[in-house]
Amino acid sequence: MATLKYSRQREAIKEFLNSRDDHPTADTVYENIQQIYPNISLGTVYRNLSLLVSIGEIIKITTAQGPDRFDARTTPHNHFICRDCHSVIDIEMEENGDLEELAAKRFAGIIEGHTTNFYGLCGNCTKKVQK
Amino acid sequence: MATLKYSRQREAIKEFLNSRDDHPTADTVYENIQQIYPNISLGTVYRNLSLLVSIGEIIKITTAQGPDRFDARTTPHNHFICRDCHSVIDIEMEENGDLEELAAKRFAGIIEGHTTNFYGLCGNCTKKVQK
DNA sequence: TTCGTTGCAAATGTTTTGCACCTGA
DNA sequence: TCAGGTGCAAAACATTTGCAACGAA
């Protein structure tokens, strides 16, 4: 396996993601890192994001619409995706019982993880609709 | 709101999806419908798939890797996605308690639905690894 | 020196869209 | 007749990749 070598670009990407809790897209990461390293390329951003995902330092959030998003919080939590403004919001909650254990009873393979996404209208968009 | 008009292509797509439980991609749908209507275009397949999703007749399954998949089973159930062969398999299970209710306690907006995906190795790929 | 990393640009894979024609009601 | 549907091709979008140069160990 290839040994990781230090890269200032990668550090900047990690730091940026750590500073945000709104799950930026690759493009948002790119625009922000450009302010520090004007020559960084979008390819480098994508390469580092998928590298960080593969070593478990960040999480990739794939939604039904629009580009993937990235999250530096790797502890278990869920996401809510607004059907109106498409923002992705953390939901901190206990899951009653062990979903994976329940699923395993009905499934022939090996279950290693799971993701739950909630959908609906976020707080802001709820207000907009009421107007 | 636009009134739906009958279309033989759309019917064929619905029928095809009803006949399968392996969650075909748009491209797979296209290839199969071509055997009945050789002139159908991929654009028509995409248009009809998203129309059917929007009226709730089918479900779109977005995965972390590869194209979206489509499912004619609209009753609540979960999916397992194999990290090796990327197949998508139904999991029929009860969810202990009401996840959406739990989430709502911690969330300011309106929760209208949720999706849980499980990840790991499917039955077939588990065997392959053991060899 | 070695090999992972980068910037750039081209390519890829998936999905959407504009347009003129076709078709169901 | 007329609004919705279709086929075709081009465009849009998100992401990946080849390559030569760069930089960390």
Q: Are residues A89 and A117 in the same domain?
A: yes
d(CA B87, CA A4): 31
Protein-to-nucleotide distance from the CA of A79 to the C1' of C25, whole angstroms: 45
Cβ-contact A118, A110 below 8 angstroms:
no
AA letter at A18: N
Token pair for residue A14? Answer: 């990690």
Q: What is the DSSP string of A18-60?
A: HT-SS--BHHHHHHHHHTT-TT--HHHHHHHHHHHHHTTSSEE
Round to whole Å and give the CA distance between A43 and A76. Answer: 29
Domain total for chain B?
2
A125·B109 Cβ contact <8 A:
yes
Mean pLDDT of chain B: 94
Same domain for A54 and A18? yes
Q: What tokens were used for A71?
A: 């999250």
**Last residue of a domain, which of A28, A49, A74?**
A74
How high is the pLDDT of residue A94? 82
CB contact under 8 A, B121 and A113: no
Same domain, A63 and A92: no
Output the domain CATH number for residue B128. 3.30.1490.190
Cross-chain Cβ contact B126/A110 below 8 Å: yes
Report pLDDT for A130: 66
- Find the angle CA(A102)-CA(B71)-CA(B85) to the nearest 5 degrees: 70
Residue A91 and residue A78 in contact, taking contact as beta carbons nearer than 8 Å: yes
Q: A64 and A95 share a domain?
A: no
Whether B15 and B48 share a structural domain: yes
Separation CA A18–CA A74 (nearest Å) = 11
Summarised one tens digit per residue, pLDDT across range B70-127 is: 999 999 999 999 999 999 999 999 876 789 999 999 999 999 999 999 999 999 999 8
Mean pLDDT confidence for B7-21: 98
Confidence of residue A131 (pLDDT cuts 50, 70, 90): low
> Is A32 in a helix, a strand, or coil?
helix
DSSP β-ladder status, A88-91 and A110-121: unpaired
Query: Closest nucleotide to A68's CA, by C1' atom?
Result: D14
A54 pLDDT band, cuts 50/70/90, is very high
pLDDT at B22 over 80: yes
Provide the residue range defining the domain that includes A84.
Answer: 76-131
Strand-pairing partners, residue A82, are A120
